[in-house]
Amino acid sequence: MKGKDLLSISDLTPEDVWGIINRAIRLKKRRAMSTVLAGKTLALIFEKPSLRTKVSFDVAMYQLGGHSVYLSQAEVGLGSREPIADVARTLSRYVDIITARTFAHATVKSLAKYASVPVINALSDGEHPCQALADIMTIYEKKGKLEGLTVAYIGDGNNVANSLLLACASVGANFRIASPRGYELSEKIVRLGRRSSQKNGAEIVLLRNPNEAVEDADVVYTDVWTSMGQEAEAEKRRKSFAGYQVDARLMKLAAKDAIFMHDLPAHHGEEVASGIIDSKQSVVFDQAENRLHAQKAILAEILGR
Ligand code: NVA
């Protein structure tokens, strides 16, 4: 992965994915400060709000001996104050790596095209690869394996679902998704996922009915119905997603030892019934913690000695 961009999970081979998971687990155990990125600087560009991603990247750089600079959209004006290409070429003269959270996936691609340093996608409307890597690390920690497990995703076929599907496919985990009409995964992602899942002996199943999706599943995953940038559609989406809430009844249909996952922020009482996040089955804060360890591994793989 040395020097590579990470825009999509499909940029990674299964070996890269396993390399990140294993390194993240080692880093988490060791918990020590390191100097592997001494003298290196990360630029963090955010067009959208962030809690986990911003803090975990900043702390990751610090713990690896490097440094980070945070840039909000108000300061940078990606594509408005200044062309994306010029931002990319300027930052490349100062920093060793760029992380960007953007609306259009094309923006993060364009940054990568013009930057001479690696670019990491910290969430775009298309994908959230850093989340998916922390997610499968979490599943591996909890279940002791990935191959042959079934991950059931309930809700919007969005950026989080896209990356999770690709990550599951790459490690041989089955992926089932139940979405209402009009909110399904794109055909392009399904095609991409199936190409890799078939090689790795896993299945991708597209469903309408949440009950069917979670039946005997090892993992039940959901995300918000209204993603950042879609706020104007919130009311319409609330109606479309009625019946797609993960609640105690739905969790009972999954395997006895199933875990509940959510990338957060969650809208308690909307996509997830209140109480589920606090239940014994929920691993959402381990997931959140693992963002740090997984991103340390990603940064070290891309930039490290
Ligand atoms: N799908 C959500 C994920 C937030 C981390 C969004 O894009 O807003």
CATH number at residue 42: 3.40.50.1370
Let me know if residue 15 belongs to a domain: yes
Query: Residue 198: helix, strand or coil by DSSP?
Result: helix
**Three-class secondary structure assignment of 232-296:** HHHHHHHHHCCCCCECHHHHHHCCCCCEEEECCCCCECCCECCCCCCCCCECHHHHHHHHHHHHH
| Ligand 1: lining residues by beta carbon, under 6 Å | 123, 158-160, 223-224, 227-228, 263
Q: Which atom of ligand 1 is nearest to 50's Cα?
A: 5
Q: Which domain holds residue 116?
A: 9-127+291-303
Let me know if residue 4 belongs to a domain: no
Q: Which of 47, 51, 123, 267 to mutate to test the pocket of ligand 1 (most atoms within 8 A of CB)?
A: 123
* Structure confidence by residue, pLDDT tens digits, 105-156: 999 999 999 999 999 999 999 999 999 999 999 999 999 999 999 999 999 9
Do 202 and 227 share a structural domain? yes
A 10 A CB-CB count for 156 gives 26
Do 184 and 123 share a structural domain? no
303 CA → ligand 1 middle, Å: 27
Q: Which of 263, 267, 272 to mutate to test the pocket of ligand 1 (most atoms within 8 A of CB)?
A: 263
Residue 79: both structure tokens together:
């594509």
Do 155 and 117 share a structural domain? no
Write down the pLDDT at residue 125: 98
Average pLDDT over the chain reads: 97
- Dihedral in degrees, nearest 10, Cα atoms 282, 286, 288, 290: -140
Q: Please say whether the beta carbons of 36 and 65 come within 8 A.
A: yes
Write down the pLDDT at residue 84: 97
34 CA → ligand 1 middle, Å: 31
What is the total count of domains within the chain? 2
Write down the pLDDT at residue 32: 86
Let me know if residue 262 belongs to a domain: yes
Let me know if residue 2 belongs to a domain: no
* Structure confidence by residue, pLDDT tens digits, 67-112: 999 999 999 999 999 999 999 999 999 999 999 999 999 999 999 9
Do 123 and 53 share a structural domain? yes
Write down the pLDDT at residue 305: 75
Do 245 and 153 share a structural domain? yes
Let me know if residue 1 belongs to a domain: no
Residue 272: both structure tokens together:
């997830």
From CA 148, how far away is CA 175, in angstroms rounded? Answer: 10
Let me know if residue 29 belongs to a domain: yes
* Structure confidence by residue, pLDDT tens digits, 212-255: 999 999 999 999 999 999 999 999 999 999 999 999 999 999 99
- For the cut 90, the answer to whether the pLDDT of residue 31 exceeds it is no
Whole-number percent of the chain with pLDDT over 70: 100
Do 141 and 70 share a structural domain? no
Write down the pLDDT at residue 93: 98
228 CA → ligand 1 middle, Å: 6
Do 164 and 92 share a structural domain? no
Write down the pLDDT at residue 246: 98
Do 205 and 297 share a structural domain? no
Higher pLDDT, 87 or 32: 87
22 CA → ligand 1 middle, Å: 26
Do 146 and 21 share a structural domain? no
A 10 A CB-CB count for 93 gives 8
Q: Which of 224, 225, 264 to mutate to test the pocket of ligand 1 (most atoms within 8 A of CB)?
A: 224
Do 280 and 145 share a structural domain? yes
Q: Please say whether the beta carbons of 295 and 56 come within 8 A.
A: yes
Do 162 and 179 share a structural domain? yes
For the chain, the farthest-separated pair of C-alpha atoms sits apart, in whole angstroms, at 54
Residue located nearest, by CA, to atom 6 of ligand 1: 227
Write down the pLDDT at residue 149: 98
Lowest mean pLDDT among 31-35, 190-194, 207-211, 259-263: 31-35
Write down the pLDDT at residue 217: 98
From CA 180, how far away is CA 154, in angstroms rounded? Answer: 9
Let me know if residue 97 belongs to a domain: yes
Write down the pLDDT at residue 78: 93
* Structure confidence by residue, pLDDT tens digits, 16-25: 999 999 999 9
Let me know if residue 122 belongs to a domain: yes
Do 121 and 262 share a structural domain? no
